[in-house]
Amino acid sequence: MNLFLLIFASHNIFLLEEKDFIRKVWFTEKSKAGQVSLYSAIDFDSATLRKGASLINAYRSGRLGAKPNLGSPYLTSE
């Protein structure tokens, strides 16, 4: 039996619209100390993410965490 694992990152939040995709979505969140947490969309309880609810709306409203930190919009010279 061949087993494999494919991991990729995307900044396209519209991938979250796929209903069958929820079991495969994982989020990362980096703390100020530099530690990274990895958690699945199915780890959320029903109070945070109701069955049949829109994953993209939950992400946009911040209920799922993993908000991107894009830094300053200004260029800095070093």
What are the tokens at 58? 């939950």
Total domains in the fold of the chain: 1
Residue 38 maps to a domain: yes
Q: Is residue 11 part of a domain?
A: no
Residue 14 lies inside a defined structural domain of this protein: no
- Whether residue 19 is contained in a domain is answered as no
Neighbours of 44 (CB within 10 A): 19
Kindly report, residue by residue over 37-75, the tens digit of the pLDDT: 888 888 887 777 777 777 888 888 888 887 766 666 676
Q: How far apart are the C-alpha atoms of 21 and 15, rounded to whole Å?
A: 8
pTM above 0.95, yes or no: no
pLDDT given for residue 70 in this prediction: 65
List the domain range (segments joined by +) for residue 48. Answer: 24-67
Please indicate, yes or no, if residue 56 is contained in any of the structural domains. Answer: yes
Is 35 within the bounds of a domain? Answer: yes
The string over 49-62, giving b where at least 16 C-beta atoms fall within 10 Å of a residue's C-beta and e elsewhere, is beeeeebeebbeee
